[in-house]
Amino acid sequence: MIYNDFTSGDSFIHRFDPRIKILIALFFSIITALSNKIPAILSFFVLAIILVLISKLKFKILFSRLTIVNIFILFIWFILPFSYPGKIVFHIGSLQASREGLINALEITLKYNAIILCNIALLSTNPIFQLTHAIRHLGAPDKFVHLFFLIHRYAFVIFDEYKCIRDALRARGFRPKTNFFTYRTYAYLVANLLLKSYERSEQVHRAMICRGFTGKYWVLEHFALKWRDIFVAITIFTAITTLAIIQWMKIL
């Protein structure tokens, strides 16, 4: 589930204009993903850590989040070094690990973590409704804005419905086992949730129509860009661009 664990802080990053944060996160993610030199990627990783430190996030929660996402990365370390051709560094039985494969796995790990850290530092430090407004102000289509917010809003409601059905199953003595009956019961549960979600979406739409909704999402309050925001934005954009130029001009 989506919980607002990092939104309550009062760091400099928390107060930063969310529109700029989204743009920086996007720019950072694209440039980092396209980088292919270890020193450059390492610099982006350090930059992401600096952003995390400035935003004073709760480390315990942050590490637990990182651990979950790095489980996927672990598979890369099991596969990539042994499947990439290049200079052999070591071998386990008949499996040979190449230097290029190891470097590639390291690059992916650093890139992945840098992007996640930067996004957590910048985006999860805002409540979801501020982000919704920010993407609306950045000119995203209304349908996209609605999807973005309504998915978050009703994920909780549908999760509650799931808990309700699950508890009802338990109350009637259901114990999940590895058998056809269990699979069928779970299939019923998912089908039920889908139907309920569909019915709910119809009701929500009706409620919106009754309050004059015609497809346009109006905003009550507008963001005010401060000089401080512009200054910080220019600094971070310059840092990212400089790193990008240095690596692609083959200075590194």
Can residue 220 be called a binding residue for other proteins (CB under 8 A)?
Answer: yes
Select the residue interacting with other proteins from 147, 168, 190, 207 (CB under 8 A).
207
**List 8, 63, 127, 245, residue binding other proteins (CB under 8 A):** 127
Shortest Cβ 161–other proteins spacing (Å): 10
Among 26, 200, 239, 246, binds other proteins (CB under 8 A): 200
Tell whether residue 179 is a contact of other proteins (CB under 8 A): no
Token output for 245: 């130029």
CB 145 within 8 A of CB 135: yes
**What ranges in 55-126 are assigned the alpha helix state H?**
59-83, 99-123
Q: How far is CA 23 from the centre of its chain?
A: 14
Among 214, 224, 227, 251, binds other proteins (CB under 8 A): 214
* Stretch touching other proteins by CB under 8 A, among 43-51, 106-114, 169-177, 217-225: 217-225
Q: Is 211 in the site for other proteins (CB under 8 A)?
A: yes
With binding defined as CB under 8 A, does residue 221 bind other proteins?
Answer: yes
Cα-based distances in Å from 20 to 134, 143, 171: 9, 22, 50
Residue 84 CA to residue 219 CA, distance in Å, equals 52
Please enumerate in sequence order all residues whose Cβ is within 8 A of that of 27, keeping only pairs 6 or more positions apart, or say none. 237, 240
Site string for other proteins, 128-167 (x = CB under 8 A): xx--xx---------------xx--xx-xx----------
Q: Round to whole Å and give the CA distance between 106 and 64.
A: 21
C-alpha separations of 173 from 176, 191, 221, 230, 237 in Å: 10, 20, 51, 60, 58
Minimum distance from residue 224 beta carbon to other proteins (Å): 14
Q: Which of 12, 144, 183, 213 binds other proteins (CB under 8 A)?
A: 213
212 near other proteins (CB under 8 A): yes
The CB-of-193 to other proteins minimum distance in angstroms stands at 15
Q: Which range of residues in 77-85, 114-122, 197-205, 228-236 is near other proteins by CB under 8 A? A: 197-205
Q: Cβ 151 to other proteins, closest distance in Å?
A: 11
Beta-sheet strands, E only, within 73-208: 88-92, 95-98
Residue recorded with tokens 């709760």: 58
Stretch that binds other proteins, among 79-87, 98-106, 171-179, 199-207 (CB under 8 A): 199-207
Half-sphere exposure of 141 (CA within 13 A, CB side): 3
Per DSSP, the three-state class of 90 is strand
**Applying CB under 8 A, which residues contact other proteins?**
127-129, 132-133, 149-150, 153-154, 156-157, 200, 203-204, 206-214, 216, 218, 220-221
